Amino acid sequence: MTNLFYPSLQRQDVSVYYKSVGVFYSTYNCKSNYENVAKDCQYRCVYCDALIDECGGEPFSLDHFRPQHIFGDRFDGILKTHPFNLHLSCQKCNVLKTSDWQGCIDTESGPTYINKKGYVDRFKEDITNFLEVDHNGYVQCTSPDGPAKYMIGKLLLNRTNRVYIRKLREVKVKARKVQEMILDKQRKILDEWNSGSLSSEQVKQELEVVTELLERLTKLRKA
Ligand SMILES: [Zn+2]
């Protein structure tokens, strides 16, 4: 299940982001850094882990990780437009987070959570040190030291639709594995036929079983 949920994220080199005369374009500019930030975030919400495609394909929001409301006038306003402060977020998570900030406000790169309240910066820490997705699609807090419990509560990470999306993602991966196993079996049957260790009648019977399994799997995947 490596990387199926909450993969570790990395920024691109700062030179790839749009800027003009040393100032990064804001999200309101026509040349926004949306595409670059979306790529950084692997086209998924940094909070609930839903992929854009899993939510109908409409663009997500660019969340000011350190909120403009608090940091807008600090540090020469750099956090208003700097792409490294922009994190891809689905609309619902963005609305639920709003201007909430529980971390340090005295520096532009200080702790992002204090006393277990706040948010994990996905580009600074591996969030899977604090939470995991169980086999039913629920995000579970795995460490009492981090802000996972706070994030799950504040952002409603286990809202019905997101649990469904995660479960569906896992089921699809399993279905792909089953399909690979069936196709592998099909190849082995034909190899055995070619080597003469199976009769034509045996091959026919075994291939009928394999074909039926593939048809049933295809129907399930379309359901
Ligand atoms: Zn989200």
pLDDT band at 20 (very low <50, low <70, confident <90, very high): low
Report which DSSP code applies to 93.
Answer: H
C-alpha of residue 45 to centroid of ligand 1, in Å: 5
How do residues 33-54 score in pLDDT, each as one tens digit? Answer: 888 999 999 999 999 999 999 9
C-alpha of residue 15 to centroid of ligand 1, in Å: 28
C-alpha of residue 93 to centroid of ligand 1, in Å: 4
Rounded CA-CA distance 211/108 in Å is 60
How do residues 55-114 score in pLDDT, each as one tens digit? Answer: 999 999 999 999 998 988 888 877 888 889 999 999 999 999 999 999 999 998 999 999
C-alpha of residue 47 to centroid of ligand 1, in Å: 5
pLDDT: which is higher, 81 or 155: 155
CB 125 within 8 A of CB 119: no
Rounded CA-CA distance 210/136 in Å is 29
What pTM did the predictor assign?
Answer: 0.84
Percent of the chain with pLDDT over 90: 64
pLDDT band at 183 (very low <50, low <70, confident <90, very high): very high
Rounded CA-CA distance 160/125 in Å is 27
C-alpha of residue 182 to centroid of ligand 1, in Å: 35
pLDDT for residue 75: 83
* Mean pLDDT of the residues in the chain: 90
C-alpha of residue 155 to centroid of ligand 1, in Å: 8
pLDDT tops 90 at residue 5: yes
C-alpha of residue 17 to centroid of ligand 1, in Å: 23
Cα 210 off chain centre by: 34
Backbone angles phi, psi at 113, to 5 degrees: -150, 145
C-alpha of residue 74 to centroid of ligand 1, in Å: 27
Domain ranges of the chain: 14-115, 169-222
CA atoms within 13 A on the CB side of 112: 19
pLDDT for residue 1: 45
